[in-house]
């Protein structure tokens, strides 16, 4: 999503999330769809972060899910090793 020229008010009022499809890179991991409902307040924050960082909302979400999954997997493996 290119947010250049858009105001913060426009981003906050826009209910439609634009999705920009990029051609996958040869070395990239296979992507799967995730259909999820998220609170409006989180979506509003994501729009602000997206505008400030000029990063796609879907990329922000994917990055955070990746971080969470990595930490959770590490913790799970540590707990399994201790049992």
Q: What letter does residue 24 receive in the DSSP assignment?
A: P
Q: Specify the pLDDT at position 46.
A: 92
How far CA 43 is from CA of 25, 46, 64, in Å, comes to 28, 5, 14
Reading the chain (83 residues) residue by residue, the pLDDT tens digits are 566 677 777 766 766 555 555 544 445 777 778 788 889 999 999 999 999 998 898 888 888 998 999 999 999 999 999 87
Q: Specify the pLDDT at position 75.
A: 93
């Amino acid at each position: 999503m290119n947010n250049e020229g858009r105001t913060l008010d426009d981003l906050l009022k826009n209910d439609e999330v634009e999705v920009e499809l990029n051609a996958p890179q040869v070395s990239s991991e296979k992507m799967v769809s995730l259909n999820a409902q998220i609170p409006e307040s989180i979506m509003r924050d994501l729009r602000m972060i997206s505008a400030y960082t000029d990063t796609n909302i879907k990329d922000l979400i994917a990055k955070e899910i990746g971080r969470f999954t990595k930490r959770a997997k590490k913790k799970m493996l540590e707990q399994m090793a201790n049992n």
